Structure 1
Amino acid sequence: MQSLNQIIAQIRPLDKQVMDEMSIRLDGLVKPVGSLGRLELLAIQLSGIYRSLNISAPHKQLIVMAADHGVYAEGITLAPQAVTHLQMMNMVKSVSGVCVLAKQMDAEVLLVDAGIDSSPIEGVLNHKVRRGSGNIATQAAMSREEAVTLLERSAQLAIEQVNRGVRLIGTGELGMGNTTPAAAMVSVLCNVMPEQTVGVGANFPQDRMQHKIEVVKRAIAVNQPNADDSIDVLAKVGGFDLGGMAGVMIGAAAAGIPIVLDGFLSCAAALVAVKIAPQLHPYLIPSHRSAEKGTHLALEKLKLVPYLEMSMRLGEGSGAVMAFPIIDAACAIANNMGSLAESNILLSD
């Protein structure tokens, strides 16, 4: 397996020449210049990623990283921890929310067990680090060695998917209690107080929110993560699902394809990935602005503006797959619209 540094070294800048050519092409289509707004900017970004004027993503995939979290013991979610395993079984049956949406969008879903507290599940790729991360309120989520191995393994997985024909990867997650480590990571990496990042997650009661905030504060105080070292942040206050998503982002960029972010958890993972490999930032496509508190802070830090405002906070990658048709639309406009020249339309300055 390649080392993390070897994988990161493969990430290339977007092709500026192709992007300039795409911009000229779009300006020459049968429409007022710039009238398709961010759809045109997306087409330009895609051309730079794919290094081609012929942009398309016929084979789309959502990679769902699932894991349990030791911090569950602190009572930071109402859902039984066994729901991680049970919901993964629903995903295997393709009846979960994201699986239904992915089918509608003609996208493949790849299920990955990065650390569910259960035996391996048939139909789920077993990349288990161990059965649940450490309780971040009292100890590190994982060792630095585990974090690096997780990033490398997940990056390699993304590269393998691209080698088998995948042209677009979305990131998703599953894990009871995982908004707590995500809030801790965003607090540290955005240098804000947990009060600004801790949200309701899976409908956590407002009258108990202060407890969840205190757990995140304790996690940061106990572990003292280094904000300048995102692997340290991931290892100390993160989780296996979050690290898995960050690794997928690095691998997808190294393989030269776009990465579609989901909501709060995905953005937290992106903060880690971009800190490790800043050159992957142009490969990121933000899907939606999650209703989970703290999402806007992560997006601002990432300097990303989402395409959708749906008040969604399901997780699983549900927002990511909702953005797939927008990407298809950007490709269709670039590839299929007629030109002003072909239509004998002359526009004055």
Structure 2
Amino acid sequence: MKWLGILGLVTLSECLVTIPLTKTKTMREILREKNLLTNFLENTDDPSQNATDDPNIFLHPLRNYMDLSYVGNITIGTPPQEFRVVFDTGSSDLWVSSINCSTPSCCARKLFDPHSSSTFQSSSRPIKIKYGSGMVIGFRGYDTVRIGKLIDLRQAFGLINKQIGLDHVNFDGVLGLGNSLLAHQGITPVFDNLKKQGIISQPVFAFYFSTGKENGSVVMFGGVDHSYHKGQLKWIPVSHTLYWQISMHRITLNGVVVACLHGCQAILNTGTTYLLGPSTVVNTIQKRITARLVSQEYMVPCNDITKLPSFIFTINGNDYPVPAQAYTWKGPQGTCFSNFKGGTEKWSSLETWMLGDAFLRLYFSVYDRGNKRIGLAPAV
């Protein structure tokens, strides 16, 4: 099972008729009122974020969408067709919607037209990719993929004709950065091809996520720009190579172990906003932070946030504090919510956590495929 936790959070589509669950403005309305919608949908390229002194490191800008997701532009085809994608460590496939997409939500997205690309190669092989919040169905094609200056020739990707459960997303597709074993059968993921084709010198990529501002976030390939973190990177061995998975010792609150009592597993997942854990454990945590369930969301009194203590995630002998400002988020009309979510028991019989953007905004993360390890350091 692949996970992409931000799916289903927000909508940028006005092609669908929806019935709101609460009397709050949509994210699209809020962005329009603040004159941010057009800017957000435009090119995310920021030249100032593409500069590094090391020619072997390629920095690619990401746009922070209200601390809910991070998207970056790629192009597919010749001449290039541009798409906004999530760079997802929790999956391994690349897909975008095609002009043949029959799902109403596709009208809110940029669609790939294979007939307009001179380098496109067709395939009759079907493709189906499942996520924690939905599924996409289509067929496989091959074309040139560009991530800034990185050019990946004859990359296999999914041309999606049908989407299930993915109506309310703010991107056109997903670019997976997980292990090749997670990819659809016979597909070599983008990152693997970049290394195989000699486009990057080292099988390493890293993420820096900004907090509270649209610009400044980056994904980098081929090495590490150390200006994005403070102190030394702490390296953690990957415990299971199928995912970017590590062993975690415990999670404490005020010195009391509240989760991962006997040790557990954690997956670093840039494709989810949340801190995901087993429902029974998470429900106990919600009570400890005075969160109450309202319309399938756990609400936290905004006035309580400054009084709430930090959770301490202990990994490989090092403590990683997550303060209340990180494990909560402020929604429309000043309502505050918890970033803890339950549900990983469906994925594994072990106690397993997924550390998403709420954690990764605090800690610059490096993914070293060659040495099978993950590096963490406080983000600048």
TM bracket, shorter-chain basis: under 0.3
What TM-score do the two structures reach when normalised by structure 2? 0.25
Relative contact order, CA 8 A, sep 6+: which one is greater? 1
Q: Which has the higher helix share?
A: 1
What TM-score do the two structures reach when normalised by structure 1? 0.27
Q: Which has the higher strand share?
A: 2
